[in-house]
Chain A
């Protein structure tokens, strides 16, 4: 069997149905083999490898499966770097396969040779260069196992052209289930579960912070049971969104720089902080030396390096939260923290008065980003997969999107990669074909990967695109306004006629600027068979509040 065929057989054996890629000289043998795999592998031809890897990320995030991206050597491979970095920090399981020059040319500065293994070492969970066909099945088996197990992450397998073309006696494909030096999940220590439960049971003002670990561990049910039995208010990080429905009475909102008022302020008042599958990112904690100093901390995480990394824990609960949460739930007392929960609701009411009402139901003429999300919520009822890009609109989308179920919000959390949303939305639709997928993107970010409209055109994938156009690189402008004396240095960005551009790609579209047009346009977009681009002209200089200014404590969150 040829190495190239073995590569594709491995993908099929791993249950892959869709791959995102772009061909080139060093990966032609695999593309040649792909010609015969049309029935089992759906290959999506993207317009740029960055689009390919973001699409694979969107696929992985919406489906919970491993995303696969294919690229050629040299420039193809280096175009994956941003997506790898993004996937690593957001723990997204990916297998990227890159072509490489012939093994005998390695290190000779051959045409389109780059040392992609060394380039991608800091941005992969694992990577490996294959130089002989015999290595392929086992290298890929390892790659899939590493990508999806433990704390998931991106891996890259670089395959030299000779290895793709070589024929060999291929054994039956054996998935990998164990690597001697790799312990994906630490052993659960029962004594820590007991200590954690005792601490939680003794708490007067306990507070749960949850992150994507709950989603990655597929522990949404276990998590809800823990929250409901313990009666503890729970707030989410940007990637944890949806693991507990936004409408749940114990879901008190979003944490962090642009999170909700109550969860931020009360972080510094709780007595026991229970962090589940989250990593105390600086966008969540603000100033660390003023972060929850009064609290005893219980931290549940599968990755031992996260424990004590930023915040010192009182009780570390190592392990997969799918396993640890039920053990903990069994030991915690059924409680209601009525007075404590009421304090969150008080803050929520203050936030509505100061910020939210005006955002969602503005009195001014001009449209706000918030009301677009509000209208969208009303139409979709919280059932759509929202894919957001990076900037002000992202914070608005995360703050206001209603989400009834997990895996409903795909966004670039840790890296904050502009240009993420359009390709990720394409991938998200392939990953969740029966759900509506709505991308919410800024005028700046959209232009970073605008070429993927071509992918939509060619595949006919159904993605609804909302561009929230404030004619600025809005988030940067906000910082310049607040912290740099309104010196608007290179943030006023011109855009093409987006609707006309979409039309050029045979994608339907509309632009709205008046309130009266918004609702009908959203309804039309969602009812439209196939992709649709809706450009909404919104207030130019709107700021996202609340905000924890850089270098401040979470309790110093500003309402305006």
Chain B
């Protein structure tokens, strides 16, 4: 094994794409083909209707990330790809913790701990309670460690979402694209993305 290059670090790749069946796979194989592990992946609608936003986190060198970004952008249904270090983005992950309710109720310590970690109860039932925290990895990790002795039943963390500090959204960029190569008279295929009624299993 070659030693880890010192300049490998977390990068946040942001891709704006059409909302298209199969695109996730096309993007994922760009990483798997190069044997690069995706640390975190989130796909959701963006601020523009019909355009999706991928947030992908990987640990790599800038050179590799730049090449990956170009390869992703090369896909027909991808509009634009950005990549940023953690310093250039504001990022959050959400975590849910399920703990036995009786322990929480009895142990004052636990209550303090939850408050210190900014945890919020999402569901309180007789048998268990679910808390939520949001933050960076270390923050959400801290609470797991703290809750472990009190019978943490289940834990889940979301993919990372990130907002680029220096960007002013995608609206303008999209307008710029369309100014350069307008699509006025060309009707986008209204059927291509409309797939309900197909699966009648």
Contact = CB atoms under 8 A, between A and B. Distances in A.
A76 B178 CA distance: 40
A138 B192 contact: yes
B17 interface: yes
Contact of B22 (A118, A174, A179): A118
Given A121-B29, A180-B178, A135 B192 contact: yes
A129 B23 CA distance: 12
Contact of A181 (B21, B77, B200): B77
A332 interface: no
A104 B201 contact: yes
Interface stretch (B53-61, B122-130, B179-187): B179-187
Interface stretch (A205-213, A279-287, A288-296, A302-310): A302-310
B201 A122 contact: no
Interface in A413-459: none
B18 A176 contact: no
A139 interface: yes
A309 B67 contact: yes
Contact of B195 (A104, A108, A131, A187): A131
Contacts of A128: 192
Contacts of B180: 187
B14 to A, nearest CB: 15
Interface string B156-191: 000000000000000000000110111100111101
A121 B26 contact: yes
A129 B191 CA distance: 12
A80 B153 CA distance: 50
Interface in B110-165: none
B177 A121 contact: no
A134 interface: yes
Contacts, number: 79
Contacts of B17: 181
Interface stretch (B5-13, B35-43, B68-76, B96-104): B68-76
Given A122-B33, A138-B191, A142-B189, A178 B183 contact: yes
A183 interface: yes
Contacts of A135: 189, 191-192
Contacts of B181: 178, 183
A126 B75 CA distance: 8
Contact of A179 (B66, B76, B198, B199): B76
Interface string A115-143: 00110011001111101101100110010
Contacts of A303: 74
A108 B79 CA distance: 34
B25 interface: yes
Nearest to A125: B76
A182 interface: yes
Contact of A305 (B25, B70, B76, B177): B70
Contact of A180 (B21, B67, B177): B177
Nearest to A179: B76
B65 interface: no
A121 B77 CA distance: 13
B79 A180 contact: yes
Contacts of B95: none
Contacts of B187: 174
Nearest to B77: A181
A373 B192 CA distance: 51
A229 B25 CA distance: 47
A107 interface: yes
Given A103-B198, A135-B191, A139-B192, A305 B71 contact: yes
A139 to B, nearest CB: 7
Contacts of B26: 121
A334 B189 CA distance: 50
A132 B198 contact: yes
Contacts of A183: 177, 181
Contacts of B186: 176-178
A183 B180 CA distance: 10
B81 to A, nearest CB: 11
A6 interface: no
A308 B25 CA distance: 25
A247 B186 CA distance: 46
Contacts of B22: 117-118, 121, 127, 129
B26 to A, nearest CB: 6
A118 B195 CA distance: 17
B95 to A, nearest CB: 32
A146 interface: yes
Contacts of A187: 180
B183 A180 contact: yes
Contacts of A482: none
A159 to B, nearest CB: 13
B29 A104 contact: no
Contacts of A178: 181-183, 186
B76 A134 contact: no
Contacts of A129: 21-22
Contacts of A127: 22
A85 B70 CA distance: 20
A106 interface: yes
A142 B189 CA distance: 9
A104 B71 contact: no
Contacts of B77: 181-182
15 contacts: A103-B198, A104-B198, A106-B198, A118-B25, A131-B198, A138-B189, A142-B189, A142-B192, A178-B181, A180-B188, A181-B79, A182-B76, A304-B73, A304-B74, A305-B70
Given A104-B199, A121-B22, A131-B195, 18 more contacts: A118-B22, A129-B22, A131-B198, A138-B189, A138-B191, A138-B192, A139-B192, A176-B186, A178-B183, A180-B18, A180-B79, A180-B177, A182-B76, A182-B77, A304-B74, A305-B67, A308-B67, A309-B67
The 7 A-B pairs with the shortest beta carbon distances in the complex, nearest first, are A138-B189, A305-B70, A135-B191, A181-B79, A126-B76, A178-B183, A104-B200
